[in-house]
């Protein structure tokens, strides 16, 4: 009994440390004070100011566009790579899987520096000394960062799948592309979706790769691309973070919380339906 109480207390303390800073920002998003910790009465002024703050809106737009495109590209590349490697010979499959682990376990600063050196080298030697840094280099950096994680999410679903399904579809007259679309992809869809969400999240809050590989483009026009992470870092250098960021943090947290709750409800309902159907089958037998 004592051990159980201590384990619950440990979990609740960890959750408190994780979510207390977020709750702190959420509480002070409902006051118009410039600094968090100063309460000047309940107000929704920060939420009104958030949507009129052009600098934050541009950074938010850049962040969402970049995250959406890079997550889609990473998901397609990582999924196709996982499928291709899965059907390769064991030796080659082992080699690719080991290579895929390098960006995952490596420090992100090493990846960012490597990409920077590569883009500078290509610009100086193959593009007449011009700078290549733009939205496309930033997109490439985020795809390199996220694709290995998509691969790792799809791989277990492929291992759980019956390998005879693909061959059976081929024997029944499906072309390789149709068999992939009709048989393999539905079987590994949970892994694809989790890889998509993970790559979107990685892109959303990335700072190091963004800071090293960004250039002009997107909603920033001819100016250097600003995302939420780089904007916050730039503001911290000059002083305090804009108070409107507290409102934005609250909105993002509530949206993510709603998605998690809705997904959990759907999964629980699906599991209950599955158990109910299974019980009915057993009863009829």
| pLDDT tens, residue by residue, 154-179 | 999 988 888 778 778 888 788 878 88
Nearest Cα neighbor of 184 from 273, 263, 82, 109 is 82
The residues facing 216 across adjacent strands are 224
28-59 per-residue burial string, b: 16 or more CB within 10 A, e: under 16? bbbbbbeebeeeeeeeeebbeebeebeebebb
Ranking 12-16, 36-40, 144-148, 225-229 by mean pLDDT, the lowest is: 36-40
Percent of the chain with pLDDT over 70: 95
For the chain, the straight-line distance linking the first and the last C-alpha, in angstroms and rounded, comes to 42
**Residue reference for tokens 């959406």:** 68
Phi, psi of 216, rounded to the nearest 5 degrees: -75, 155
SS3 content of the chain, % helix, strand, coil (to 5): 80, 0, 20
Assess contact for 161 and 188: CB atoms under 8 A.
Answer: yes
State the pLDDT at residue 242.
Answer: 87
The pTM of the full predicted model, rounded to 2 decimals, is 0.86
- Rounded to the nearest 5 degrees, what angle is found at the Cα of 129, between the Cα atoms of 123 and 135? 45
Q: How many helices (H) and strands (E) does the chain have?
A: 12, 0
Phi, psi of 40, rounded to the nearest 5 degrees: -120, 30
Helical (H) or strand (E) element with 153: helix 135-160
Please write the tens of the pLDDT for every residue from 184-236: 888 899 899 989 999 999 999 899 999 999 999 899 889 999 999 999 998 88
């Amino acid at each position: 009994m004592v051990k159980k109480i201590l384990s619950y207390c440990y979990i609740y303390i960890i959750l408190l440390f994780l979510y207390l800073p977020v709750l702190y920002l959420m509480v002070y998003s409902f006051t118009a004070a410039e600094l968090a910790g100063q309460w000047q009465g309940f107000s929704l002024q920060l939420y009104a100011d958030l949507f009129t703050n052009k600098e934050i809106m541009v950074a938010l737009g850049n962040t969402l566009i970049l995250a959406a495109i890079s997550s889609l590209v990473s998901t397609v590349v990582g999924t196709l790579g996982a499928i291709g490697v899965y059907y390769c010979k064991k030796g080659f499959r082992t080699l690719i899987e080991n290579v895929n682990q390098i960006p995952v376990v490596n420090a992100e600063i090493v990846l960012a520096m490597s990409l920077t050196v590569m883009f500078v080298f290509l610009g100086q030697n193959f593009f007449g000394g011009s700078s290549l840094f733009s939205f496309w280099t930033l997109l490439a950096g985020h795809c390199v960062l996220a694709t290995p994680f998509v691969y790792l999410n799809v791989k277990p679903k492929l291992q759980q799948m019956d390998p005879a399904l693909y061959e059976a579809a081929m024997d029944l007259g499906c072309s390789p592309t149709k068999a992939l679309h009709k048989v393999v992809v539905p079987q590994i869809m949970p892994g694809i979706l989790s890889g998509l969400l993970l790559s979107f999240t990685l892109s959303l809050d990335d700072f190091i790769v963004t800071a090293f590989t960004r250039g002009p483009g997107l909603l920033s026009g001819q100016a250097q691309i600003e995302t939420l992470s780089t904007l916050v870092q730039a503001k911290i250098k000059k002083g305090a973070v804009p108070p409107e960021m507290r409102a934005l943090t609250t909105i993002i947290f509530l949206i993510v919380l709603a998605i998690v709750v809705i997904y959990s409800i759907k999964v629980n309902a699906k599991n209950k339906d599955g158990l109910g159907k299974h019980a009915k089958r057993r009863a009829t037998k």
